Structure 1
Amino acid sequence: MKQPVVNCPRCGRIVIWTNANRYRPFCSERCKMIDLGEWAAESYRIPEAEKQEGEALKDEE
């Protein structure tokens, strides 16, 4: 069976998806910790839906 191959979400390096790689989907502990730090610093955000002109959100009513 062929092993799946993915790119590290942090640096883009090719990673073979196996149980032997304990940092998957990252290539290393370093990339994993950098990504965790970005989450902890709230650098990643889900974009807020834009309001249509004249439309109010329920919280504002």
Structure 2
Amino acid sequence: MPTVVDCPTCGKKVEWSEKNKYRPFCSERCKQIDLGAWAEEKYTIPGTAPTDPLEEDKQ
């Protein structure tokens, strides 16, 4: 039985298989919507700001 996942954009059930060239998305449209959200920086990965090694030496 093939794996079925929810499209990250619209929530439609999508078969995760070689037949679906847009996986995990259900369509080119949903894929482009997601790409646009990344380009507009609507998604972020939480974390702390990197430290400057030169600042550490001053302490």
TM bucket (normalised to shorter chain) is 0.7 to 0.9
Alpha-carbon distance, 1:58 to partner: 4.5
Deviation for aligned residue 1:46:
1.5
Q: TM-score, normalised by structure 2?
A: 0.77
- The answer to whether the aligner puts 1:34 opposite 2:33 as a matched pair is yes
CA-based RMSD of the aligned residues comes to 2.0
Q: When you count helix as a share of all residues, which structure comes out higher?
A: 2
Instruction: Write the distance in 2 (CA, Å) between the matches of 1:58 and 1:30.
Output: 39
Letter of the structure 2 residue corresponding to residue 40 of structure 1: A
Q: Whole-Å Cα distance in 1 between the matches of residues 18 and 47 of structure 2?
A: 37
- Displaced runs of 4 or more, over 4 A: none
Unpaired runs of 5+ residues, structure 2, are: none
Q: Deviations over 1:7-40 (max 9, x none)?
A: 0011100001111110000000000000000001
The runs of 5 or more residues in structure 1 that have no matched partner are 50-56
